[in-house]
Amino acid sequence: MLELLDITKVYKGHKRAVDGLTLRLAPGLIGLLGPNGAGKSSLLRIAATVTRPTTGTVRFDGADAVARPDPLRRALGYLPQDFGVYPHLNAVEFLTYLAAVKGLSARTSRTQIDELLELVNLTSAGRRALGGYSGGMLRRIGIAQALLGDPRVIIVDEPTAGLDPEERVRFRNLLSSLAATRVVLLSTHIVSDVESVAARVAVLQAGRLRLDGPPEEVVRSVAGHVWEATVPVAAAADLQQRLVTTRAVRSAAGVRLRMLSPTRPLPDAEPVAPDLEDAYVGAVNR
Whichever domain contains 173, its CATH number is 3.40.50.300
126 and 265 belong to one structural domain: no
Residue 249, H or E segment: strand 244-251
* Under 8 Å between Cβ of 269 and 243: no
pLDDT of residue 159: 81
6 and 118 belong to one structural domain: no
pLDDT band at 51 (very low <50, low <70, confident <90, very high): very high
Residue at a domain's end among 99, 114, 143: 143
Helix (H, G, I), strand (E, B) or coil at 60: strand
pLDDT tens digits for 66-107?
Answer: 999 999 999 999 999 888 889 999 999 999 999 998 888 999
How many domains does one find in the chain? 3
126 and 12 belong to one structural domain: no
62 and 181 belong to one structural domain: yes
What distance lies between CA 218 and its chain's CA centroid? 16
* Under 8 Å between Cβ of 41 and 196: no
24 domain-assigned: yes
184 and 131 belong to one structural domain: no
d(CA 190, CA 162): 13
81 domain-assigned: no
62 and 159 belong to one structural domain: yes
**Residue 268 DSSP code:** T
274 and 134 belong to one structural domain: no
Helix (H, G, I), strand (E, B) or coil at 16: strand
114 and 68 belong to one structural domain: no
Asked if residue 177 has pLDDT above 90, the reply is no
Count of CB atoms situated within 10 Å of the CB of 70 = 9
* Under 8 Å between Cβ of 39 and 204: yes
> What DSSP string describes 118-176?
HHTT-GGGTTSBGGG--HHHHHHHHHHHHTTT--SEEEEESTTTT--HHHHHHHHHHHH
How open is the CA angle 77-80-81, to the nearest 5 degrees?
150
* Under 8 Å between Cβ of 164 and 144: no
pTM of the model: 0.88
Over pLDDT 70: what percentage of the chain? 100
118 and 260 belong to one structural domain: no
266 and 247 belong to one structural domain: yes
Question: 280 is in which domain, residue-wise?
Answer: 226-284
134 and 188 belong to one structural domain: no
pLDDT band at 1 (very low <50, low <70, confident <90, very high): confident
Helix (H, G, I), strand (E, B) or coil at 247: strand
12 and 71 belong to one structural domain: yes
> What DSSP string describes 181-238?
SSEEEEEES-GGGTTTT-SEEEEEETTEEEEEE-HHHHHHTTTT-EEEEEE-HHHHHH
Could you tell me the CA-to-CA distances from 226 to 25, 77, 218, 234 in Å, in that order? 30, 38, 14, 23
pLDDT tens digits for 2-34?
Answer: 999 999 999 988 889 999 999 999 999 999 999
